[in-house]
Structure formats: C-alpha cells, structure tokens
Amino acid sequence: MSTSYCLEPPKLHFGEDGVPRSATFDDVYFDKEAGLAETEYVFIQQNNLSERFAALNDGDQFTIAETGFGTGLNFLCTWHHFVENESKGWLHFVSVEKYPLDKMSLQNALAAWPSLSRYAKLLVDNYPTLCQGWHRVNFNEHRVSLTLWLGDAGDGFSGLAASVDAWFLDGFAPSKNPQMWNEQLFQAIGKLSHLGTTCATFTAAGIVRRGLQASGFKMEKVKGFGHKREMLRGTFEQGATTLKNPWFYHQPKRLNASARILVVGSGIAGASTARALVDKGFRVQVWEADTEIASGGSGNIQGMLYPKLQATNTPINRFYLAAFLFAQATFTNLNQSVSGEIWRQCGLLQRAKNSAEAEKFEKMLGSQLYPPEVCFAKQDGEILLPLSGWVAPKLACAKLLDHERIQVHLGNELLQLEQTQQGWEATGTKSPEPQHFDRVVLCTAGAINQHSPVSEWPVKTIRGQVSRLSVEHLDTQQQTTALALDQVLCADGYVSPPLDGHLNFGATYDLTSNEILPTLASHSTNLNKLANLLNIDTENIAPENLTGRVGFRCTVADYAPIVGPVSNPQVLLESYAPLRQNAKWQPTELLNNGILEGLYVNVGHGSRGLVSAPLSAEYLASVISGAPSPLESAVAESIHPNRFAIRQLKRNSAG
C-alpha cells in the first residue's frame, strides 16, 4: 500500500465537446452521446438490477462494487434507477478511485447529464476530502450510501469488509490500464463475492475473463453496447472462502425496522450511535442515567476537533484520520439546520508544547503523509489543520438525538443486562420490569464495567477540568489578544476563539483525583496553560473569577477506542488457544467466537471523542445492519473489542 495519504490528480482535460478525457490513459471517461445508455446497458441491465432492486424488502441491503469511480456517472445512474424502482431496500455503492477528480471537475463533468442533476448536486455537495482511505457518504433520504476508497483498486478491495451482490468492472481498458486489472484485484473480487453475485464489464479482454474465472465466476460473452462486438458478464459460483483473523469475524443476524434497539448513554458516542441507527431506518431507545443528556465527558461548551495525527501510517492513525474527516462532514451537516452554533470550522493551530513534540511535528511534516487539505506547516514548525475547529458537544448531542424515531429516557440508569433466548433483557432505575431488546449498544464510557455482561474492560477514567473566563475579566491588552483569536490554538492545553464573550480553555489531566466539582487549583493550572497559549501574563486573573466543568475521560491502554460486537473472552481464549504456541496460526475453519449475539460497545474515546465517536457510530450501525463497513479491516481490528483477548494469547506465544 502507498505510504502517503496524498493522491495524484488525474491528467484530465475537457474536450470542446465537454467530455472529460484522461491523458494518463489516453481514453474518455464516458461517451458524450451514449454514456448514460452505455452504463444502463452494460452495468444496470447485465446485472439485472431493475428486477433485483424491485424485489428488495424493508431492511434488505444491496451492495454494488465498482472499479474506477471517475466522474460518478455509473453511481448516479444506479442511484436514479434505485429511486425509480421505488426499492424498499438500501443501496450501498462501493467504489474505488486512484486519481480522483476535484470537486470543480466533477461538477463540470456531470453537467453533461441534466436528467441526473438532482443526484449530481447531492454528490458534489457531499464529495469527500481528497485524501487516501475509505470515505462514507450517506444519502439517507433515498436510502443510498456511497463508500468510496480513494487509492488503488486492489489495495482498497483487499481491505474491505463487505458482501458484494453485483460488480461494475469499469476502469480504463486492460490494454490501456494493465496495472489495475491485476491478481490482487481479482482475488479481492472473489473474496468479497457470494453465491449468486453477478458481474459485468464493458471489456471482453481475455485477461479479465480468465481473472474472474479464477476468482470463482462463471463468465459469458454477450453482445457489447452499440457498435462494440462483445462484453463480459458472469455469476459467482463458489462457496465462502477462508477468513483471515477469524477471531474478529461477526455475521450479524438480519434485522428489520421494527427491531427493538437500546443505546445506553447519551454522550457523543451514544447520541452518534442512536442517530446512525435511526438514519438507517431503525427505532432506538436511549437510556441515560443522568437527568440531562450529555452530562458526562460530552457536556463541555466548546471542544476541539483534534485528531493528533502521527508521522507513521499505522491502522490506528488511519482510523483517526478517517474519523476526523467523517466528523468534520457530520458536524458541518448538523450545523445546517440549527439556530445555536454547533460547529465552527475555524481551523486548528497545533504548536509543539516541548522540544520532544517539536521533533515529532518535524517528523510528521517531513513524512509528507498528509495532503495540505488535511494539514500543513505554518511558521515556526506550527501545524495548521484547516478543516478543524470547535464543536459545542452538548448541542451536537441534542441535535443528534432530536429525531422522531429516537426516544430518550432520562434518569434511567441501566442496572442489569441479561441475555435471553430472544435477545436481551434490560432493567433500569425507571424500568424495574425487565424490557426486551434485540440489540443493545453500551456507550457508557468509564462506567462500562458496572453493567456490562463482560466486566473486565481495560479502561480507566481520568478527571479533566475546563475553565471559562469572561473577557471582561481581562485587561485591555489581554482582551485584544483574546478577541483576535480566530482559530483553535493547541499546545499544552487548548483555547478556542471566544464564544458569547467568554474564553473556554483547558484542560487538566488529573490522574489521582475523583473530585466532581471544579477546583481553584485546576483553574490555576488552566490559567497557566492559557498564559502559554496566548503568550500573555495571567497572574492578575483570580481563579475565583473562573467557572468551569469537570468530566471524566474513558481511556484505554492502547489509546484506541473499543468499538464493535462483544464476545465472551473465555470462549475466545479457548477457541484460539493455539495462538499461544504460534502467533501466526490461522484456523482452517470458523471456530466459536463466543459472540454475545446482539451486544455491542462504543466506549474508550479518551481525549478525542469528538473526532472518533461519529465514525465509530457509523461503523457500528453498518455492522448491526449488515451494510459494508466504512472501515478497512485492519482499522476495524485495531478498535475491535476482541483485540485484548487475542493479544493476550499472542503475547504468551512471544514470551
């Protein structure tokens, strides 16, 4: 896989006819006269999509995967057909693109298709930031999701977790683009297909036919579009292939819209999870122990969107990068229809807090991992994240929970959760009679060990206090500096641009204190941070003039959240015991994972919940509904609840 998240732009030019052409591949993206008709003939008809869309029922997921997203014409055309067929299911369109068009070129290219203009506008408005990785964009109104890998096709599909129903094998012809039609791609296509998966491609090239046959498809040549003599279509005829790392495998049972789902906790993890689930068509009850929503870690007035990007391309770094971009898009959309300000994309300036961090920053910038849309160097080694800014977490939670299919039960602390034949029975302070649920998601941060049927989650809580200061308590010079602050500033602590005449800043890390009320000592600590951040003297500011708030971060030893389906760790340890002898062992058949069917967790967001919670929620909702994962497998494994048991086994092998 590439060692940079930067992408090469396409060598694109528009001819006088307005048709986009690629100089790299010496080919057009589509035919001006017949592009739409060709898509309909080659991909829609040969995969028999109209009938398949019409046959979908409520709760059915239908996944199409494409090689070469290009201008998105195939996607828009498929979307249009899905809507026209009044399909009751959900369409997942997964595509890959190594040389993505920029937004302006995309818009120009799609102007050629007035009949698709309403879909084109939605696509352009929600087009992801051009950075390598998976990007998820939901068009909930039409029950359509786009899962787009920006990068090489083979790399993207090799890391995808999905069950594909139909393939659109586009991409320039094998004679012009032999690099794409390779063994890695064909293998991945086979791995992602199931009995009955269909494929269609405009080409009749032998290398494509043989590659698809070898990966398990029965192929046939049929009449090509227009004057083209032949094209290929096929049906997958093999059974399931063996899985890598099966200890992370989970095949959820089918769920329909009437299922009873409980989300416990109403912080940013719970609110995002509840919203992601209702956006996929479900109904959700949220139980919150407190009498207000988001009164734990997520209750601050302003929080920063700070992904702490690293210089190394690890799965967890890719998680935070993808999560950052997803959170930015989520908060931008949330802001659109609300009066109070939930999100301000003012940028975030990262300044090294000491020489060790300065070295890290230098390494990170030197690595050239990140495109400038994500971060770039400013003067004195500072780093600017232009897509970042501040979030009002409590308002964001309120907005996320404000949906007719979400029922919030305040003051209802989950006391007990028991697995039954049918699902789960939950008892709460306001629900003394056990309530039945088909799925339960625990989003209870540091309280997780108190009520989870698996009770030894490796989490700890760390107290943090933020401080709030009216600018009226500042002298003229301090006021000038504070009021000029127009970006979030982050070094040893952070301060956001003033809001409602106040500066919000912090935060303390108190490893030994459990004090739930703000203390003067913590305010003093925060004032020192403010002095350094703004380069002002804060000696004359009395801590007594500050207000503030205390919260508890839920942290995990490996600094990654815990998100996914829950297994009984004892069963995992027994099933995969051979890993104690050989850490590289892979079983030849599926073993018992001890899955506690229908139970999920979304906790451990540490100091970065605003970044990590929205994508974690989207991932969980995808897993629960059987949709393609928005996370590359290696990334999902790095946040998977089973990682602790598996590491324990492998550690023994190493030792």
Ligand X SMILES: Cc1cc2nc3c(=O)[nH]c(=O)nc-3n(C[C@H](O)[C@H](O)[C@H](O)COP(=O)(O)OP(=O)(O)OC[C@H]3O[C@@H](n4cnc5c(N)ncnc54)[C@H](O)[C@@H]3O)c2cc1C
Ligand Y SMILES: C[S@@+](CC[C@H](N)C(=O)[O-])C[C@H]1O[C@@H](n2cnc3c(N)ncnc32)[C@H](O)[C@@H]1O
**Nearest to 222, CA basis, from 91, 43, 381:** 43
Q: Rule CB under 6 A: is residue 269 a binding residue for ligand X?
A: yes
Q: Which of 611, 615, 631, 649 binds ligand X (CB under 6 A)?
A: 611
Q: Which of 20, 133, 389, 609 binds ligand X (CB under 6 A)?
A: 609
Residue 339 Cα distances to 301, 342, 395, 457, 581, angstroms: 15, 9, 10, 39, 59
Q: Select the span of 59-67, 190-198, 263-271, 572-580 touching ligand X (CB under 6 A).
A: 263-271
Minimum Å distance from CB 140 to ligand X?
Answer: 22
Q: Rule CB under 6 A: is residue 71 a binding residue for ligand Y?
A: yes
96 is in the binding site of which of ligand Y, ligand X, none (Cβ under 5 to 8 A by kind)? ligand Y
C-alpha count within 13 angstroms, C-beta hemisphere, residue 297: 30
99 is in the binding site of which of ligand X, ligand Y, none (Cβ under 5 to 8 A by kind)? ligand Y
What tokens appear for 283 in the block? 């109904």
447 is in the binding site of which of ligand X, ligand Y, none (Cβ under 5 to 8 A by kind)? ligand X
Minimum Å distance from CB 413 to ligand X?
Answer: 4
- Cβ closest to ligand Y, residue 171 vs residue 497: 171
Helix H or strand E segment including 251 = none
- b/e sequence 447-468, b meaning 16+ C-beta within 10 Å: bbeebbebeebebebbbbbbbb
Q: Which of 38, 165, 170, 618 binds ligand Y (CB under 6 A)?
A: 170
How many helices (H) and strands (E) would you count in the chain?
A: 19, 31
Q: Rule CB under 6 A: is residue 281 a binding residue for ligand X?
A: no
**Alpha-carbon torsion, ordered 629, 632, 638, 644, to 10 deg:** 60
- Residue 42 DSSP symbol: I
Residue 489: count of CB within 10 angstroms of its CB: 21
Minimum Å distance from CB 306 to ligand X?
Answer: 6
CA distance 253 to 274: 19
94 is in the binding site of which of ligand X, ligand Y, none (Cβ under 5 to 8 A by kind)? none
281 is in the binding site of which of ligand Y, ligand X, none (Cβ under 5 to 8 A by kind)? none
Q: Are 570 and 644 in contact (CB under 8 A)?
A: no
CA distance 256 to 625: 9
Residue 519 three-state SS: coil
Q: Which of 19, 21, 50, 99 binds ligand Y (CB under 6 A)?
A: 99
625 is in the binding site of which of ligand X, ligand Y, none (Cβ under 5 to 8 A by kind)? none
- Cβ closest to ligand X, residue 211 vs residue 606: 606
Minimum Å distance from CB 265 to ligand X?
Answer: 3
What tokens appear for 329 in the block? 């898009």
* Residues contacting residue 60 through CB under 8 Å, at least 6 positions apart: 88, 89, 90
Residue 64 three-state SS: strand
Q: Are 355 and 314 in contact (CB under 8 A)?
A: no
| CB closest to ligand Y, residue no | 68
Mutual orientation of helices 520-534 and 476-484 as an angle, nearest 10°?
A: 70
CA distance 332 to 78: 27
CA distance 75 to 91: 11
Residue 206 Cα distances to 178, 180, 203, 232, 463, angstroms: 12, 15, 9, 10, 63
445 is in the binding site of which of ligand Y, ligand X, none (Cβ under 5 to 8 A by kind)? ligand X
Q: Rule CB under 6 A: is residue 70 a binding residue for ligand Y?
A: yes
What tokens appear for 105 in the block? 């070129």
CA distance 350 to 222: 58
Minimum Å distance from CB 469 to ligand Y?
Answer: 51
Minimum Å distance from CB 639 to ligand X?
Answer: 13
Q: Which of 177, 197, 273, 526 binds ligand Y (CB under 6 A)?
A: 177
Residue 256 Cα distances to 249, 439, 575, 638, angstroms: 22, 12, 31, 29
Site string for ligand X, 306-345 (x = CB under 6 A): x---------------------------------------
Q: Select the span of 75-83, 134-142, 218-226, 297-305 touching ligand X (CB under 6 A).
A: 297-305
Residue 529 Cα distances to 374, 489, 539, angstroms: 26, 11, 12
605 is in the binding site of which of ligand Y, ligand X, none (Cβ under 5 to 8 A by kind)? ligand X
Minimum Å distance from CB 97 to ligand Y?
Answer: 5
343 is in the binding site of which of ligand Y, ligand X, none (Cβ under 5 to 8 A by kind)? none
Strand partners for 554:
461
Q: Rule CB under 6 A: is residue 306 a binding residue for ligand Y?
A: no
CA distance 297 to 606: 9
153 is in the binding site of which of ligand Y, ligand X, none (Cβ under 5 to 8 A by kind)? ligand Y
Minimum Å distance from CB 428 to ligand X?
Answer: 7
Q: Which of 5, 29, 287, 390 binds ligand Y (CB under 6 A)?
A: 29
**Residues from 492 through 531 that contact ligand X (CB under 6 A):** 506-507
Q: Rule CB under 6 A: is residue 261 a binding residue for ligand X?
A: no
Q: Rule CB under 6 A: is residue 562 a binding residue for ligand Y?
A: no
Strand partners for 492:
none
Q: Select the span of 176-184, 408-416, 509-517, 596-604 touching ligand Y (CB under 6 A).
A: 176-184
Q: Rule CB under 6 A: is residue 266 a binding residue for ligand X?
A: yes
* Residues contacting residue 650 through CB under 8 Å, at least 6 positions apart: 579, 583
Q: Rule CB under 6 A: is residue 225 a binding residue for ligand Y?
A: no
Q: Rule CB under 6 A: is residue 451 a binding residue for ligand X?
A: yes
Phi, psi of 161, deg, nearest 5:
-110, 105
Q: Are 610 and 531 in contact (CB under 8 A)?
A: no
295 is in the binding site of which of ligand Y, ligand X, none (Cβ under 5 to 8 A by kind)? ligand X
Q: Which of 267, 498, 569, 614 binds ligand X (CB under 6 A)?
A: 267
Which spans of this chain sit near ligand X (rule: CB under 6 A)? 264-270, 287-290, 294-298, 300, 303-304, 306, 413-414, 443-445, 447, 451, 464-466, 506-507, 551-554, 603, 605-611, 613
Residues that bind ligand Y (CB under 6 A): 10, 29-30, 68-74, 96-99, 152-153, 170-172, 177, 179-180
